């Protein structure tokens, strides 16, 4: 009996074809992943990577501030001046002081603000800047200048007088 060997009829017949298939198998998934990432991001790059730009993108959505100040309040809309108490209140303080979250005195609540007003604006501002109780320093936004925190305290205390 003579043995017969059948030749393999596979797609890869030479070592060169094997190398091509291996290279394609390694690089094709990477190329597809890159294309999908471009599709998903719309081709946008990560943008400005400066320290200030990154800090602005990751700042908290809401901030809490209890403030009082001895410094003169900055008028809203005044060129070159602090943005004003209302603007800081609306951006940082309203999250807790509008609803009285965690014992924060509500905006305009004369009874809640009365004992705090007795301590004076300087003491209230210092508490807001350094933090007190559940309120973190500067209401959780360390980038707010002290003068702006004082302006927000003056705005809130003026509404409670």
| 115-133 mean pLDDT | 87
Token pair belonging to 18: 């094997």
- Give the model confidence (pLDDT) of 11-24 as tens digits: 888 999 999 999 99
- How far is the C-alpha of 142 from the C-alpha of 82, rounded, in Å? 16
Is the pLDDT at 39 greater than 80, yes or no? yes
Domain ranges of the chain: 14-45, 55-159
pTM, whole model, 2 decimals? 0.49
Q: Which residue has the tokens 């596979």?
A: 10
Torsion angle defined by CA atoms of residues 78, 53, 149 and 85, in that order, rounded to the nearest 10 degrees: 40
Domain 55-159 belongs to what topology?
Answer: Cytochrome Bc1 Complex; Chain D, domain 2 (1.10.760)
Percentage, residues of the chain above pLDDT 90: 13
């Amino acid at each position: 009996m003579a043995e017969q060997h059948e030749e393999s009829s596979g797609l890869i017949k030479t070592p060169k074809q094997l190398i091509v298939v291996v290279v394609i198998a390694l690089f094709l998934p990477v190329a597809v992943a890159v294309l999908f990432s471009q599709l998903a991001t719309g081709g946008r790059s990560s943008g400005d990577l400066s320290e200030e730009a990154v800090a602005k993108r990751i700042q908290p959505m809401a901030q809490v501030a209890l403030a009082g100040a001895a410094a003169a309040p900055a008028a809203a809309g005044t060129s070159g001046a602090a943005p004003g108490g209302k603007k800081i209140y609306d951006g940082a303080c309203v999250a807790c002081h509008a609803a009285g979250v965690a014992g924060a005195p509500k905006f305009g609540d004369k009874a809640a603000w009365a004992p705090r007003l007795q301590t004076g604006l300087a003491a209230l501002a210092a508490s807001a800047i350094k933090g007190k109780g559940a309120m973190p320093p500067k209401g959780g936004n360390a980038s707010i200048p002290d003068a702006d925190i004082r302006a927000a305290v003056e705005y809130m205390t003026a509404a409670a007088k």
